[in-house]
Structure 1
């Protein structure tokens, strides 16, 4: 029996991409994540849970690591993985490229893609998988004087080609892969040239979509909707109990009871909960009466699924740049790290962490740890639950990509067996 191929995940976050790879049959070696809370969530669910194959190296402390310090301190150890790691995956921080942000070409977070390439140069795995926002493949609006504006994706492609990789990339819509939100993502796939693997990854990716969804009980002809994802988590008709899975008391949550019938997506998210136990991170927000009244007016007066216009925000006294009442009958807009960017489609409140996690396609057994929110001086260094979810790669999309890369690995192994 062939051993499972091995991956490492750089910029791992709470583990959305790793979860997808592990569910597709890959074996974990190590993960680099700089924030303690996100790594705690990652470790609890993926490394220490016993659900997956994961061999953490003895030379690396099982804790959060900054990528630059990691590459500096463990470079020799990382080099020892050359020939033992089949895939480097990762989603470098994307704020400098995001259309939702300022798209600043000088944002220091942009250089994290350089650290990804540095790790590739050391380990030289067979395959690469890089995920980012779609703005990664768009030129910055202002190019240097006398120079043509070039998307950063082209810079990364040239760098990886120089390191001996065939590189292809494409923008993929998460909703096409069973995720109940649109969330277009830049996906780069690369294969080491010396392997001489003849394949067209994104052709194969598209060809496998129907089968992937059908195997998970999802209709390939209909996108999953926000209601499909979270309607069983509504407050209406539920008993409210004290929320006890956070470090702050005084919040309520629903007492989860499985409904008599699930949507296909809910059934998929509930798989692995044989005892019928509810998920964690169900804590409800506490809104002031004035805020609840404002949200009720928005749900009654504004179109669902569209971000409020400046005129509407002025009318309701909202200073936020963006707020969207979700539409129940369509996929959600892209989840962000800010919980008050969205309103529930039928209840005058923002979403819970678990509702956001469902929309991201995290299964209910996956537990988020750490604080729910942070502010002030902690905002730049911490990664609370809402941020963990908003930053993650949707696990269903990660699983589809994991199956694609597994196919490439198996094709390569088959050709090597024949040659032997």
Structure 2
């Protein structure tokens, strides 16, 4: 196949730009990005340019404003499918993928890529998507769906995601893994938490964002924050600190003595094994979600813990900066928004290493 120099890109439901980071790394040129959340759109604009960023409801963009592009990427909101969501098939957020298909109809890309939670591939909405490829809005495209594990593509995180590649230039397979838990011929070992966050300050000096402000889209946002600006700590209670101190790497709430268990943990003897969990230095993290700053939500305690020396234990959750690095954002990425808004941007993003693997694979097939 001939290689396209700087193939053009539209990113829908772009968030702060995790997918664009990966595609940009592989030489794609963004023409348009649409993101309804203002703070996420501001972060995108800060990193990739305000002029092509549209901080609006995707349904408000008229067809004649949609440019032609080589590739469209995006992850329509997936809360209705998420294991943490309502699993409500009537959730209006689950209809937004039809807006994505409208852009495909108008822009006529050679290839489109849909990213979503792993549950999406088993949903009724996914079946409707396949039907649209059979005889509907995208009948000119051949679809290749599958669930990819980010760790298999060089990301230091065990994050499964549904990827659907649609192509009207011949069927395109999913990219083959480059890494493995137990590497075989030609595969590298999984990346680890250590490879991303080792050497950062174990006890951040501040618990607050710097007092910085920036302007995008005619309004003010907090930021633009550089990496170390979001490496701030929290102020846990004495009870929380005592709980953290009992949890070894890979452990969780089941390592706590009864006197430190909350009532709901005491009564729930099974499940939610990653709650109050501590990461391992030499393994990928589990999925970084939007509330990674709350250890009761998952395995988010810092991995440093010495079984013999309490002074060599880091009893805190990972910082926003550490979470961003585990999500494969570049160290020089900049952020806009409040603490909570930035955490949401980080947790909702596609790890850029996974996006780059898809981008590299797609680019090899473009005409």
Alignment TM-score > 0.5, same fold = yes
Q: Secondary structure at the match of 1:172?
A: strand
Alpha-carbon deviation of 1:154? 2.5
2:114 equivalent to 1:130: yes
Q: What pairs with 1:312-331 in structure 2 (closer than 5 Å)?
A: 315-317=260-262, 322-331=275-284
Q: Compared with structure 1, are the counterparts of its residues 327 and 102 closer, same or farther at alpha carbon in structure 2 (3 Å cutoff)?
A: farther
Post-superposition shift, 1:246? 5.1
TM-score normalized by structure 2? 0.80
SS of 1:390's partner is helix
Distance in structure 1 (CA, Å) of the matches to 2:43 and 2:188: 34
Q: Deviation of residue 290 (structure 1)?
A: 2.7
- SS of residue matched to 1:280: helix
Aligned to 2:210: 245
SS at match of 2:364: helix
| 1:366 counterpart SS class | coil
Structure with higher helix content: 1
1:149-188, Cα deviation, whole Å (9 max, x unpaired)? xx43222122134321111111101001111111011000
Q: 1:5 aligns with which of 4, 7, 11?
A: 7
Corresponding position of 1:256: none
Write the mapping of 1:46-195 to structure 2, written as runs, cut at 5 A: 46-47=48-49, 56=51, 62-70=53-61, 74-78=62-66, 81=67, 84-139=68-123, 151-162=124-135, 163=138, 164-192=140-168, 195=169
The change in CA–CA distance for 1:314 and 1:174 in structure 2 (over 3 A counts) is farther
Task: Give SS of 2:164's match.
Answer: strand
How far 1:353 sits from its partner (Å)?
0.6
Query: What is the count of residue pairs matched by the alignment?
Result: 322
Distance 1:317 1:126, change over 3 A: same
How far did residue 317 of structure 1 move? 2.0
Residues 9-46 of structure 1 deviation map (CA, whole Å, 9 limit, x = unaligned): 00000000011111100010010101111111111112
User: Which residue, out of 9, 30, 33, partners 2:32?
Assistant: 30
1:69 CA drift (Å): 2.3
Instruction: Please state how far the C-alpha of 1:241 moved relative to its aligned partner.
Output: 5.7
- Indicate how the Cα distance of structure 1 residues 405 and 314 shifts in structure 2: closer, same or farther if over 3 A, else same: farther
TM-score of the two chains, using structure 1 as the length reference: 0.70
- Shift in Å, 1:343: 1.5
- Report the CA distance shift for 1:159/1:278 in structure 2 as closer, same or farther (over 3 A): closer
Distance 1:101 1:244, change over 3 A: closer
CA deviations 1:316-335 (Å, max 9, x no partner) are: 22769743222222111101
8 Å Cα contact 2:209-2:230 kept in structure 1: no
Q: 1:360 aligns with which of 327, 332, 342?
A: 327
Distance 1:118 1:396, change over 3 A: same
- In the other structure, the counterpart of 2:47 is 45
- Tell me, in whole angstroms, the C-alpha distance in 2 between the residues paired with 1:175 and 1:15: 20
CA distance in 2, matches of 1:292, 1:315: 11
Listed as ranges, the gaps of 5+ residues in structure 2 are 180-185, 214-225, 266-271, 305-313
SS of residue in 2 equivalent to 1:232: coil
Structure holding more strand per residue: 2
1:305 pairs, out of 233, 242, 250, with 250
Over the residues paired in the alignment, what is the CA RMSD in angstroms?
Answer: 2.8
The reply on whether 1:398 has 2:365 as its aligned counterpart is: no
